[in-house]
A = this chain, B = another copy of it.
Amino acid sequence: MNYTIKEIANLAGVTTRTLRYYDEIGLLNPAVIGDNGYRYYDQKSLMKLQQILFFRELDVPLNDIQLIVSRPDFNILQALEEHRLSLQEKALRLEKLIETIDNTMETIKGGRSMIAEDYFAGFDESQYKAEARESWGKTSKYAESQKKWASYSKEKKEAIKTEGERLTRRMVSENPAASPDDPDVQAAIGEYLAYINEYFYTCDVDSLRGLADMWVQDPRFAENYNKVRSGGAEFVREAVHIFSDRHK
């Protein structure tokens, strides 16, 4: 089912201006542009917008959000779990601020005294920002890809996305007769590995193997692969295992 821009904006509690901006920067493109020029969004758009809003809630810059959700190793369940942890930290901070209020009121009323520092307990967000970034930002792997990503133009980002989709279709192989060890499939996997290294981060054969295992679990990938071929996700996993066995 498709949503108009106003419908999805209302569902998500954002403005249509925000959604147009996200389209403009390539963060969230509509699923379809109608003949009338209107933007239409689908269920998949909903899921992606939810992720964007969680990252936004945790003060991750939009450009960084785009990178994170674009990376081949983005795992939605893992992401949700980490959002959960970060939101819990935020809640602790709010508790701290409330405690500061109580202490301040008592001090004003003369019942206690506070040192200067205590008036601001809870305001310093740096530790929480670090927390939000921790999984995504603390590794040199991430820093590396962030630097790369930030240097790409909008057009380049678009091209990278297209290239990824093309390689994905080759890895899954639309040819029903193909088997996971098909030469073209294997070649595509090699190219996909190079693609990751080129545009995202340093990735070796073992890491790629781990990714393939993860993709079977992640509904986002599984859905894409299964569109190309029935059982596509398992096909890719098998193919990548073969590839990694041959290139160890």
Is there an interface contact between B80 and A117, defined as CB atoms closer than 8 Å? no
* Residues of chain A from 98 to 136 with CB closer than 8 A to chain B in the complex: 98, 101-102, 104-105, 108-109, 116-117, 119-120, 123-126
In the complex, what residues of B have CB within 8 A of residue A3's CB? 116
Of A24-32, A87-95, A196-204, A233-241, the one with at least 4 CB within 8 A of chain B: A87-95
Is there an interface contact between B50 and A119, defined as CB atoms closer than 8 Å? yes
Q: A84-B98, A91-B95 are known contacts. Are A12 and B120 too (CB-CB below 8 A)?
A: yes
Is there an interface contact between B76 and A108, defined as CB atoms closer than 8 Å? yes
A57 at the B interface (CB under 8 A):
yes
A123: which of B13, B104, B126 is its contact (CB, 8 Å)?
Answer: B13
Which chain B residue has the least Cβ–Cβ distance from A47? B119
In the complex, what residues of B have CB within 8 A of residue A214's CB? none
Q: A208-225 CB contact bits vs B (8 Å, 1 = yes)?
A: 000000000001000000
- Say how far A44's CB is from chain B's closest CB, in angstroms: 12
A62 at the B interface (CB under 8 A):
no
In the complex, what residues of B have CB within 8 A of residue A47's CB? 119
Q: A53-94 CB contact bits vs B (8 Å, 1 = yes)?
A: 110010000000000000000001100110110011011001
A116: which of B11, B54, B57 is its contact (CB, 8 Å)?
Answer: B11
- Say how far A218's CB is from chain B's closest CB, in angstroms: 9
In the complex, what residues of B have CB within 8 A of residue A98's CB? 84, 87-88, 91
In the complex, what residues of B have CB within 8 A of residue A91's CB? 91, 94-95, 98
A53: which of B50, B83, B102, B123 is its contact (CB, 8 Å)?
Answer: B123
Is there an interface contact between A13 and B126, defined as CB atoms closer than 8 Å? yes
Is there an interface contact between B77 and A101, defined as CB atoms closer than 8 Å? no
A194 at the B interface (CB under 8 A):
no
Could you name 14 residue pairs across A and B whose Cβ atoms are closer than 8 Å? A13-B120, A13-B124, A50-B120, A54-B97, A77-B108, A80-B101, A81-B101, A83-B101, A84-B98, A87-B94, A87-B97, A88-B98, A91-B95, A108-B219
Leading 8 A-B pairs by shortest Cβ distance: A13-B124, A12-B120, A91-B94, A13-B123, A50-B119, A84-B101, A80-B101, A53-B123
